Structure 1
Amino acid sequence: MAPLPWSALIYKGIPPTSQWPVKFCLYNAAAAWVLGIVTGNVSQVDRVWTFLPTIYTAYYALLPLWPTKPPLPMFPYVPETVHPEVVQRFSPRALLMFALTFTWMCRLTYNTWRRGLFNLKDEDYRWEILRQKLPAWFFQVVHLVFIAFIQNIMLFIFAVPAQIAALQQPEHLSTSDYVLAALAIIDIAAEFTADNQHYSFQTYKRTGSHEKNDWPGARIQWTPADAKRGFITRGLWAWSRHPNFFCEQSFWVIMNLFPLLAPESPRLPKLPLHSITPLWPLIPTITICSLFYSSTKFTESISAPKYPAYAAYQQRVSMFVPFLTPVWGLLLKLWGKKEQVDTLVYGQLELEEKKSQ
């Protein structure tokens, strides 16, 4: 019996409709790792983060458009073994999800661009700190396993709900789709507002100018006390320590719910461990929340020693969920600490400085 070609070995066990996305994901991961080694800059995935989920979602939403054989290397295609019914009709739900993901991409791409993070020399400051904390050989293991490959796999996983909608739910939109779409648009608008407020604050902190206050939601008169504190605690940031991260997670949770709340329940794969099967549709949600929780904990471990008032901010304001912040305030009031913490967090420093003069 002749041995299988290497491509067949790679694709063995992978559904035909996932062959191109898997191939594209592996190529991107390998390219990110090689570029990170060559340049010494491991933020290669960060620069394409804004585009990859949209590309994967577009692949599934636009399945009828792709040829059976790629005319160019890495060009999307649908193998001939895919059932003809799949490639003969569009799924309205998958198309709606693609439109929302494209809108998400535009917001994130713009915010990334205006912050200068597409600069090929730029590297996320957290990687440099992690590089200093770990032995050089172990950092390279983290670079290969997590930064290059696991992050790329995560970005592919974000498109799993669109895959379910495209392959299993082709019929029509339902009430849940309209409700979720409205929530997704509100979520994107809230995240854009959080981005604008943070960008405006950082501009004032760096230059002392209010020139960026004209952004929607960012018309806040920052004070010298805000800049002295070093981190933003006004606007949406008075309710959540990371409102942009909260919105980011919320967006992908909403996307995850599209196929799950639809009238056509998705067919779940038969997994070896029965305990995993109920959680399988929630893998994108579990992935994004786990990633943001761990990365935010690491970010705050850097911020807390840097800013004296950050510990008070952590006591007063919820990490993500804004609805919990009033609860933290009530608990502090019961402990008799609310006034002191509010003074540190919400900008009463000018009064203290005047009293001390």
Structure 2
Amino acid sequence: MVWFFLSALAAMAVALAILMTGAWLVQQRTGNSGWVDTVWTFSLGLVGAVGALWPMAGEPIAPRQWLIAALVVIWSLRLGMHIAVRTAGITDDPRYAAFAKEWGVDSPRRMFVFLQNQAFGSIPLVFSIFVAAHVPVAGLRAQDYLGALILLTGIAGEALADAQLKSFRTDPANKGRVCDVGLWAWSRHPNYFFEWFGWLAYPVIAISAGYGWGWFALLGPVFMYWILVHVTGIPPLEEQMLRSRGDAYRAYQSRTRKFFPLPQ
């Protein structure tokens, strides 16, 4: 059993490294670093779904594995297509562009290392999917359906936040303004919140009596929170918003919670 989990973990790590090398090649060829997030999302969905369906020796693929693989694919396609459409309409992602400016002539090498670190940081995410899919209990349980509901709620909430932001930005009357309507009046980053919320599904499904590997599913939401709140999510985005919106964004920061949404 230990060898089964460790060999799958190693295979998924190698796959992520290869796929993020592909993301680097796309970024270098197009000059548009927005494609990095597109490739990352589809890569995570692909590796996560394949990992979920990874067969145990002599065992048929269980209903839980099919359920989790389907949920991962739905998540990946929704978010990946959203990012792809957004990226097609820009020349570069301002967050990554700021990194490239800071790195100067060493930017290609630094970007490669950055994306390999991103691949490494994604290992806990795909492993949380893997251990949830391989709970050694026959049939679907109530907590499997609860986990599915949590993930679908996260997908729907993130899609709603993205739609509200797009609607706000496409209205000419809002040019130069900060989006503070709908979910954006409750949180400065409701899309990130619901992205994180969806990852709570995996520990809900995985943690079961007698299944020690299930506790590794907690790595998913823990690492996603760290990435979104402290690394590549909120910090560079808010720096960019302060540069582009100035005092208007500072006022928005003063009256709106950063991550967890609550009515004002």
TM-score under structure 2 normalisation?
A: 0.84
Alpha-carbon spacing, 1:165–1:283, altered in 2? closer, same or farther (3 Å): closer
Partner of 1:131: 100
Tell me, in whole angstroms, the C-alpha distance in 1 between the residues paired with 2:4 and 2:134: 18
What's the counterpart of residue 169 of structure 2? 202
Q: Deviations over 1:281-313 (max 9, x none)?
A: 432222211111133122112212422221111
Of 236, 239, 245, the match for 1:301: 239
The answer to whether the Cα contact below 8 Å between 1:89 and 1:170 also exists between their aligned partners in 2 is no
The list of structure 1 runs, each at least 4 consecutive aligned residues, that deviate by more than 6 angstroms after superposition, is none
Question: Do the aligned partners of residues 313 and 32 (structure 1) sit closer, same or farther apart at CA in structure 2, a change above 3 Å counting?
Answer: same
Give the distance between the partners of 1:13 and 1:110, measured in 2 at CA: 33
Give the conservation status (yes or no) of the 8 Å contact 2:24–2:112.
Answer: yes
- Residue aligned with 2:197, SS: helix
RMSD: 2.8
TM (normalized to structure 1)? 0.64
What is the alpha-carbon distance in structure 1 between the residues aligned to residue 22 and residue 103 of structure 2?
A: 23
Selected match of 1:142 from 104, 110, 114: 110
Aligned length: 259
Counterpart Cα distance in 2 of 1:142 and 1:13: 34
Which of 187, 195, 207 lines up with 1:248 in the alignment?
Answer: 195
State the 1:149 CA deviation. 0.6
Instruction: Determine which structure has more spread, i.e. the larger CA radius of gyration.
Output: 1
CA offset digits 1:296-332 (Å, max 9, x no partner): 1221122124222211111111111113x54xxxxxx
Partner of 2:183: 236
Task: Percent identity, please.
Answer: 26
Among candidates 26, 34, 53, match of residue 44 of structure 2: 53
Distance 1:19 1:122 in 2: 36
Structure 2: runs of 5+ lacking an equivalent? none
Select 1:105's aligned residue among 37, 60, 76.
76
CA distance in 1 between counterparts of 2:117 and 2:205 reads: 25
Q: CA deviation at 1:150?
A: 1.6
Asked whether the equivalents of residues 45 and 151 of structure 1 are also in contact (C-alpha less than 8 Å), the reply is no
Give the CA deviation at 1:36. Answer: 4.0
Higher helix share: 2
Q: Distance in 2 between matches of 1:201 and 1:25?
A: 35
Deviation at 1:244, TM superposition (A): 0.6
Question: 1 or 2 for the larger relative contact order (CA 8 Å, sep ≥6)?
Answer: 2
